[in-house]
Structure 1
Amino acid sequence: MARQSLVAMISDDLLARIVSGEFEPGSTLPGEQDLVTQHEVSRMTVREAVKTLEAMGVARIERGRGTFVNPFNQWTSMEAVLRATSTGENDASASIQLIELRRMLETGAAELAAERLSIQELDLLREHLASMRAAHASNDVGSFVEADLAFHDVILHASGNVFLAVLFEPLSRILAARRTQTSRVPQIQANAIEEHAHIVEALASRDPERSRLAMDSHMAQTLRDLTTYVLNA
């Protein structure tokens, strides 16, 4: 196997063990010789694998002392962060921070979309809202989440800013998982439908400020629902 493939395999294994909680923040990763023995590779390969984790902000190398796991909030790799949050580690903190990120970006997307979305996109938003209502009535969580995600995707693309859609693409998997978790609560579904209806009305008015505030209200409601019905349940 090529050395680069071995490097990726070892760094991925270490990341998986960190994410699983085997190595907690502040703890020391296995020494170089231990990793050489475990994986039957050269010291150079092990060093490159550890440097990969260092580049991701997951670990730090302290010469003469060893390699230590960094706190979650110091990680700089989207891949690593998504791996950690998708397993349930740092669940409460990650859920709140994800909403904070969405609040910053999606309010701006709604503001831009107000003047840029087409009639077809506005009709599509109404269709997704209708699908959410139907799914809520039939207690179909999967269809509700699908329509919810599609609703927001339309707004991101209607903003006309390609960077917004690109930024959100890696988050799609974790967003789907979080929505499935929260959307099992009927009241959260009902609140989301009401907030989405306000967003459609605001966008239909073509008022950027009204649209921004409607999306901000939705994000605030999402955070309240998460705290009330999920984190403190």
Structure 2
Amino acid sequence: MARKSLTEMVADDLLDRIVAGEFPPDALVPGELELSSQHDVSRMTVREAMKTLEAQRILRVERGRGTFVNPLRSWGSLHAVLRAVSEGEDDDAVAIQLIELRRMLETGACELAATRISATDLDLLAGQVEQMRAAHTANDVTAFVESDLAFHDIILHASGNIFVAVLFEPLHRILESRRAETSRVPEIQANAIAMHESILEALAAREPEPARVAMDNHMTQTREDLQRYVLQAPKS
């Protein structure tokens, strides 16, 4: 792995502080002189680090006032957004938006997969459903999440579109974290198994529209379960 430059190190540290809430949206960040002193680097290095975050729309410069943090919705870096979501405080709106993104991408991928999926992939999908069922019975959340993620990953690759799986790869960490939270609820596991069985049935029939609808129904159920069992549940 390539060693980070001083500029990258300063930019990463400032992003860490933003994600941690030290500098919330619209907060003024320290100036070049203060940051150069904190990191024992030149002002030029700090300036380049700030330009990096500004280019990603994480920071904005207001002439005569200073440099401020932009709201998360304005950020232009997927890596930074995922970092904020996975490491920052939990946000109900973000959880819903993640399902909305999955609906947009996964329903289309499932529709494509219906005409392209191989018999081997169908067998693999069936195996993942069986493993989900066994994990549900054993109350093994980790195994359940692994099989759940694997099921969807098989479909993404079976779509035959090289961009779909690549787009989803950066989401894997946050998806794994979210699934681990929601899959602790037995009712959510049971609903997920039923939905995965419907998706598998539609794919096995090689019918694009039913496959799309089955995945869309799964996303609807996922959102409803999230709102019912997680977001509205009392925080411990």
TM-score range, shorter chain: over 0.9
Does the residue aligned with 2:105 lie in a helix, a strand or coil?
helix
Match of 1:218 in 2: 218
Partner of 1:149: 149
Normalising by structure 1, we get a TM-score of 0.97
Question: 1:76-225 alignment to 2 at 5 Å?
Answer: 76-89=76-89, 91-225=91-225
Q: Distance in 2 between matches of 1:197 and 1:6?
A: 51
Q: Specify the code of the residue in structure 2 equivalent to 1:28.
A: L
Structure 1 distance, partners of 2:38, 2:85, is 27
| Aligned-pair CA distance for 1:153 | 0.4
Distance in structure 2 (CA, Å) of the matches to 1:172 and 1:186 = 22
1:206 CA drift (Å):
0.8
Code of the aligned partner of 2:188? I
Match of 2:30 in 1: 30
Residue 42 of structure 2 corresponds to residue 42 of structure 1: yes
AA at the equivalent of 2:153: D
Partner of 1:230: 230
Cα distance in 2 for residues equivalent to 1:57 and 1:102? 24
Larger deviation, residues 153-162 vs 52-61: 52-61
Q: Give ranges in structure 2 of 5+ residues lacking alignment.
A: none
Letter in 1 for 2:230: V
The amino acid that maps onto 1:95 is A
Q: Cα offset for 1:88?
A: 4.0
**Do the aligned partners of 1:84 and 1:90 also contact (CA within 8 Å) in 2?**
no
Gaps of 5+ in 1: none
Instruction: Tell me the C-alpha RMSD between the 2 structures.
Output: 0.9
* Counterpart Cα distance in 1 of 2:184 and 2:7: 41
Distance (Å, rounded) in 2 between the aligned partners of 1:175 and 1:40:
37
User: Deviation per CA, 1:56-115, whole angstroms, max 9, x where unpaired?
Assistant: 111111122111000010011111111111124352122111110000000000000000
Runs ≥4 residues deviating over 4 A: none
Q: Relative to structure 2, which stretch is displaced further, 148-157 or 53-62?
A: 53-62
Q: Which amino acid aligns with 1:207?
A: E
Q: Does 1:71 find its partner at 2:71?
A: yes
Q: TM-score, normalised by structure 2?
A: 0.96
- Measured against aligned partners, the alpha-carbon deviations of 1:163-203 in whole angstroms (never above 9, x if no partner) come to 00000011111111110010000000000001001001111
Q: How far apart are the structure 2 equivalents of 1:86 and 1:114?
A: 32
CA displacement at 1:47 relative to structure 2? 0.5
Secondary structure of 1:131 counterpart? helix
2:20 paired residue number: 20
Q: Do the aligned partners of 2:20 and 2:88 also contact (CA within 8 Å) in 1?
A: no
